[in-house]
Amino acid sequence: MDIHFMLCKGVLMVIDKPGKISGRITLLGRTESCVYLLDGGSESAIIGGGMSYIVPDVLAQFSAFRVREEAISRLVILHTHFDHAHPPGGGACSRDQTPSVPS
């Protein structure tokens, strides 16, 4: 199990389950594969590169944590694996199919 750490006002916080981290940051997904929701007020962003199997958890957490889905306007993917990335719309995409993406 992965455990997330955050330094807040000089205190090390251990984050071991999804939920509110601060007033504007929510951990979504599972401890071993997660994404972060950054609430910017009128707009929000999902940050991370969680595995696709967390999608049902994240959708349930949207409701549980009262996430306004319509406010999510950005998705920041920190990294991906081109040998098995799954673009929106389904299907796998390989490195050969995405030559314009720099290494």
- Give one DSSP letter per residue of 33-50, joined into a string: EEEEEEE-SS-EEEEE--
Q: In the numeric block, which tokens belong to residue 23? A: 């007033």
pLDDT band at 45 (very low <50, low <70, confident <90, very high): very high
Asked, for residue 103, whether it belongs to a domain, the answer is no
For residue 34, name the pLDDT band (cuts at 50, 70, 90).
confident
Q: Could you give the C-alpha distances from 38 to 47, 72, 94, in angstroms and in order?
A: 7, 9, 30
Which CA distances in Å does 98 have to 75, 77, 94? 19, 16, 7
Domain count, the chain: 1
On whether residue 102 sits in a domain, the answer given is no
pTM for the whole structure: 0.67
60 domain-assigned: yes
pLDDT at position 8, please?
61
38 domain residue, yes or no? yes
Whether 41 maps to a domain, the answer reads: yes
For the chain, what is the mean pLDDT? 76
Q: Is residue 55 part of a domain?
A: yes
- Domain residues for the domain of 81 are 4-97
The C-alpha atoms of residue 87 and residue 15 are separated, in whole angstroms, by 29
Q: Is residue 68 part of a domain?
A: yes
Is 77 within the bounds of a domain? yes
Each residue of 53-87: pLDDT tens digit? 888 999 999 999 999 999 999 988 877 666 555 55
Is pLDDT above 60 for 92? no
Q: How far apart are CA 37 and CA 89, in angstroms?
A: 22
